[in-house]
Amino acid sequence: MAGRKGREGKEVLESVYSVLALVFILVACVELCDAATVVDVYRLIQYDLAGVPYGSRLASLNHHAGSFPFAPGADLSRTVFVIHFRDLNVTSIQEYITQGQPLGGLLLLLPQKFSPANSEDIEEGGQIHGKDLREILTQLEQLLVHVNIPYPVYFAFEDDKIDAVLADIKKNDAIGQPATATTGGYKFVVSTPEPKKLASATITNIQGWLPGLKADGDSNQLPTIAIVASYDTFGAAAALSVGSDSNGSGVVALLEIARLFSRLYSNPKTRGRYNLLFGLTSGGPYNYNGTLKWLRSFDQRLRESIDYAICLNSIGSWDNDLWIHVSKPPENAYVKQVFEGFSDVAEELGVKVGLKHKKINISNPRVAWEHEQFSRVRITAATLSELSVAPELLESFGGLHDRRHFVNGTAVLRSVKLVAESLARHIYGHQGKNIQIFKDGSNLAVSPSYINSWLDLLSRTPRVAPFLSKNDPFILALKKELEDHTVEVNVQHEVLDGMFTFYDSTSAKLNIYQVASVTFDLLLLLVLGSYLILLFCFLVITTRGLDDLIGLFRRPPSRKVKTA
């Protein structure tokens, strides 16, 4: 009898434990259910410049979501604000950030057409409420990369799911029910370790060489012309900085020029009396730090042989005129020769080319143009660019706005023709003559398919130098391409200037949960508790009887200790 009652009691306890376990699981799931959606997000870059912190300083998120505009006077320290690009007001965001008010986080939604995986045209010419989207994103980027933001800032691309979430958030905010622990709503969660400093940022230069042909009996060293383009980028989001124009267009032009001249130089009859040096340099956004280290690796003999260098930078816009930027005075014989050669070809192509002279200050560490690094070591150089004014430090180097949609393959082809024909006339002594060496339809014609295929690749490839390893597939692809068209290809790995420090954690997964309010939580707990009590009573009555159930709530009789 005692054994049967023991087994019955054990069964009751096991049932109770099972119910309790079920309740605990349900309670744990009250606040968070399955994620409503999962979104790829890209963190605002984090870096230090000479020890001063900039960018977003945090990465993890676990807060409720709110919509723009911000509620005045509200405590937003535990709110992630979602701002759609259509609602972007850079002035309002700037005021909020500069005031230093606490915020749980910021999520900026970009047009899907600005995704590196998308190559369609921007609708309505890129206009949003009468404003140029590129201009808005440029202003936003310049703001975000030059301030210290003590909370997570992420970018994401709009889609149907996240647009639906944002619509719900706006609807709740409009009726005065913003998402909180009390009211419920949406919760944004990014589970990622806090950012760590990159041990050492590496920059990689790639050099290719096409040797010229000496005349019989000539023992003198041949002169050299250098064609240079910086390939790395910088922007508000390292994982999105593809730089289609800056400086993807310059890199593509260099590769096509190398391909064209490799055909000319493969035949001894058409090989010129000039060596051609091709340089794909890194560290462009950081005062062209890689170019400086590359030049320092030259021996004296090579440095003295360089006739001049032409640097290619942002040449993919059809609407803009082209400019030749120089550091030496326009009256300099070499500068005049280069400019006149380019001007003659430009006139034949229907292109306007102007000359911009900016004297460099050796004591100023700021290097605005790549050719200035050549000028500092007394090598004549110029930069060909659609930009009439030098960009500021860490600006206009392939940010959010610099996408494939705004780069015209025909404009790059035009720039390639301009440079290639100008170089060829200089090399073969045809200055001032209307002779087309790279004529359309010939074996030496510029290839639109080659240009567009490389533009497409570069427009899908983020290239922020500190996040590119020495053996990054993109760097290996550039090296292989130069090897196909030049000889003696060399790769140089250097450490980026110590004044720049970068942090990891550039992208993550954002989990968006729809959570219930505290009132709902309490009501659900009350229902579960009532169900548990009823179930417990039912189990005891059916297994042990009503008397045993009542006995559970009786006070046990006191036991008296007998004294001897």
In tens, the pLDDT along 50-76 reads: 999 999 999 999 999 998 776 666 778
Angle at 376 between CA 375 and CA 382, to 5 degrees: 20
Q: End-to-end CA distance of the chain, in Å? A: 35
Q: What is the mean pLDDT of residues 300-320?
A: 91
Dihedral angle, C-alpha 493, 474, 225, 215, nearest 10 °: 100
In tens, the pLDDT along 498-521 reads: 899 999 999 999 999 988 655 555
What pLDDT does 29 receive? 46
Residues 204, 517: Cα–Cα separation, whole Å: 53
What pLDDT does 126 receive? 43
State the pLDDT confidence band at 150, using cuts at 50, 70 and 90.
Answer: very high
Do 152 and 108 contact (CB within 8 A), yes or no? Answer: no
The 3-state DSSP composition of the chain as helix, strand, coil percent (nearest 5) reads: 40, 25, 40
Q: Among 359, 396, 253, which residue's Cα sits nearest to residue 311?
A: 253
Mean pLDDT of the chain: 86
Q: Among 371, 89, 394, 358, which residue's Cα sits nearest to residue 227?
A: 371
pTM to 2 decimal places: 0.85
**What is the strand order of the sheet 500-502 is part of?**
148-149, 52-56, 46-49, 500-502
Q: Among 42, 150, 45, 52, which residue's Cα sits nearest to residue 500?
A: 52
Q: Which of residues 77 and 554 earns the better pLDDT score?
A: 77
Q: Which of residues 318 and 297 earns the better pLDDT score?
A: 297
With 60 as the cut, is the pLDDT of residue 18 above it? no
Give the three-state DSSP class for 382.
strand
Top mean pLDDT of 177-186, 362-371, 430-439 is at 362-371
How are beta strands 507-515 and 127-128 bridged, if at all?
unpaired
> Which of 296-310, 470-484, 497-511, 536-550 is predicted with the least confidence, judged by mean pLDDT?
536-550
Q: Which of residues 236 and 20 earns the better pLDDT score?
A: 236
What pLDDT does 174 receive? 80
Do 413 and 446 contact (CB within 8 A), yes or no? Answer: yes
In tens, the pLDDT along 480-503 reads: 999 999 999 999 999 998 899 999
What pLDDT does 123 receive? 40
Residues paired with 184 in a beta bridge: 180
Q: What is the mean pLDDT of residues 353-381?
A: 93
Determine whether 393 is exposed, middle or buried from the number of CB atoms within 10 Å of its CB (0-12, 13-18, 19+): middle
Q: What is the mean pLDDT of residues 517-527?
A: 64
Please report which helix (H) or strand (E) contains residue 414, including its range.
helix 409-427
What burial letters (b/e) apply to 319-337, b meaning 16+ CB within 10 Å?
eeebbbbbbbeeeeeebee
With 60 as the cut, is the pLDDT of residue 119 above it? no
With 70 as the cut, is the pLDDT of residue 545 above it? no
